[in-house]
Structure 1
Amino acid sequence: MKFNNIQSCHLGPEISPEQFIPEHFFLFLLKGSMVAYDGYRHYNMKPGDYCLARKNHLVRYTKYKENGDFEKVIIAFDEPFLKKFLERHSYQAEPTDNEDSFLFINEDKLIKNYIQYLEPYYNGTEQLDSHFVDIKREELLMILLKNNPDLKDILFNFNVPHKIDLELFMNQNYKFNISLERFAFMTGRSVSTFKREFNAIFNTTPGKWLLHKRLQEAYFLLDKEHKKPNEIYLDLGFEDLSHFSFVFKKEFGISPSEVWRLKT
């Protein structure tokens, strides 16, 4: 059981803070709301909603506090845990064409009772013994599979991403702030193959292309959409405003704030 600055209950391995979901996880929203975007669609979550977030997907989150609070329950279903689960339970994954990054779960009394059981732990009044963490994760997994048997086709598919159209993928996902290794993995390539094929398509390196593409989009948003610099830099994959301003001015000879002021 782990806690962070935003009050929560977390069972299982830590989830990466980057915009890439490395393992499936169950999410139950207690307080506040959240909007997630995976490059294709938005997912809106409000208190009381629960869903399964899928591994190997790119997602950007926007969290909104409720009276200063944002509380959630996260239970990770990592691959080693799922494989151990299959040693005790017989499930066979089948191909699925569902590509949603978040799978919302139908309302279920058993899930509600499960969340109520965890209340002392996410309130911080009790600490769950580490020996019982996997037992509680297995209990939830069995409830979810009873609620929606088709989840087996998602959870127990251990295949790595297959080779996909690199040009299309990059043009759809260049705004996500993930590593080159993640981009390569998600397009079904080794890093060396990714770099080689990327150069053949775009005639430049991935790093240079990503920076130029993000800056071009930034200029458009400032100039045509009249967005403020502090409204766009995070969504374009830049980690801080000062770095964004520096590389923008180096590219265009004018600062982002100056472009915005010219249009206001």
Structure 2
Amino acid sequence: MDIKLQDYFRATDEHNTLVLNDLIYAEYRSYLGPTQHKLWSEDHFMVFVIQGIKKIITTDQQYTIQPGEGLFLKKGSFVMSEIPDQDDCYKSLLLFTSDQYLCDFFKELQHLFPSDPQNQIIHTSVPFTVDHQLQSLLQAISDISTQAHSSKEKEIAKLRVKELLIHILDVKSNHTLRECLQALTIKNNEVQLKEVMESNFTANIALKDFAQLAGMSLSKFKRHFESFYQTSPGKWLLHKRLQHAQRLLNSTDMNISEIAFHCGFQNLSHFSKVFKQHTGFSPTEFQKEDLL
């Protein structure tokens, strides 16, 4: 199963982590060589790279993030890898924000960020500008996070995070991010369902986790899913994953194991078995014959 980021940071003392109700701030360090992980997040989040290089793959985009750069990721699944710098260290800061936090944020600050429905487009990922002032704000949050034990200190940390978000969204070049975050506060069951499934069908997570990403109970999710797609979630996911696998087999240099991993199959043998059942060919035969 894919790793849930929130559970990872809550369960470890290895990284400096600050949990503030609908916010989580985390400092991640790695001294390993280049590593690759399949992850998912129940909250939207921003990644700020400090040392090394971060590579992120979503279903439709690939990013390489250098030190001093930032990327917003809509809640969902992705493949991440990090490459340490010359000092054998990778470091990034992560800020997780729930749907409710964003709703409250824009409601409180609508005089600063008025909503424009015509320009609200949801993106699964958005790069954004990290200037010197933002770097200073990140350092301030980092300093506070190491000592935020009392209620007073945690409230100060929340104010710092709010200041950070206001600054990010006030930078003119970050208008796409601002419009995306505002669009995420608009609730529509069918739109949310479609976005979650089309963006995350390669995630190796339980059905209840897909329901959580869509903001629904499991029973409500199944009901809306079958009404919208006219099939069961399990059948739809298998069909989408096999379609994606066929595209990767014919358009990339990935080996069969990598394709099984990226498409959300439990293991190579399971992938090979269901692939042959549905196409009549093994993945290797399909790749050699270029049958798409």
Q: Relative to structure 1, is the Cα distance of residues 121 and 65 closer, same or farther in structure 2, using a 3 angstrom cutoff?
A: farther
TM-score, with structure 2 as normaliser? 0.62
| Residue 194 of structure 1: aligned partner | 225
| Residue 135 of structure 1: aligned partner | 156
Question: Does residue 35 of the first structure (1) align with residue 55 of the second (2)?
Answer: yes
Q: Relative to structure 1, is the Cα distance of residues 139 and 195 closer, same or farther in structure 2, using a 3 angstrom cutoff?
A: same
Larger mean Cα displacement after TM superposition, 246-255 or 111-120? 246-255
2:144 and 2:157 in contact (8 A); partners too: no
AA partner of residue 186 (structure 2): N
| Residue 99 of structure 1: aligned partner | 122
Question: Does residue 163 of the first structure (1) align with residue 184 of the second (2)?
Answer: no
Shift in Å, 1:210: 2.3
Matches within 5 A, 1:245-260: 245-251=272-278, 255-256=282-283
Matches within 5 A, 1:70-85: 70-81=90-101
| Residue 29 of structure 2: aligned partner | none
Question: Does residue 145 of the first structure (1) align with residue 166 of the second (2)?
Answer: yes
Pick the structure with more strand per residue.
Answer: 2
| Residue 257 of structure 2: aligned partner | 230
Shift in Å, 1:192: 0.7
3-state SS of paired residue (2:190): coil
- Rounded to whole Å, the distance in 1 between the matches of 2:252 and 2:183 is 43
Matches within 5 A, 1:233-244: 233-244=260-271
| Residue 202 of structure 2: aligned partner | 175
Q: Relative to structure 1, is the Cα distance of residues 11 and 161 closer, same or farther in structure 2, using a 3 angstrom cutoff?
A: farther
2:99 and 2:184 in contact (8 A); partners too: no
Shift in Å, 1:8: 4.7
Q: Relative to structure 1, is the Cα distance of residues 6 and 211 closer, same or farther in structure 2, using a 3 angstrom cutoff?
A: farther
TM-score, with structure 1 as normaliser? 0.68
| Residue 44 of structure 1: aligned partner | 64
Question: Does residue 63 of the first structure (1) align with residue 86 of the second (2)?
Answer: no
Aligned-residue RMSD, C-alpha: 4.5
2:24 and 2:97 in contact (8 A); partners too: no
| Residue 18 of structure 2: aligned partner | 11
Pick the structure with more helix per residue.
Answer: 2
Matches within 5 A, 1:215-226: 215-219=242-246, 221-222=248-249, 225=252
AA partner of residue 18 (structure 2): L
3-state SS of paired residue (1:234): helix
| Residue 45 of structure 2: aligned partner | 25
- Rounded to whole Å, the distance in 2 between the matches of 1:39 and 1:107 is 25
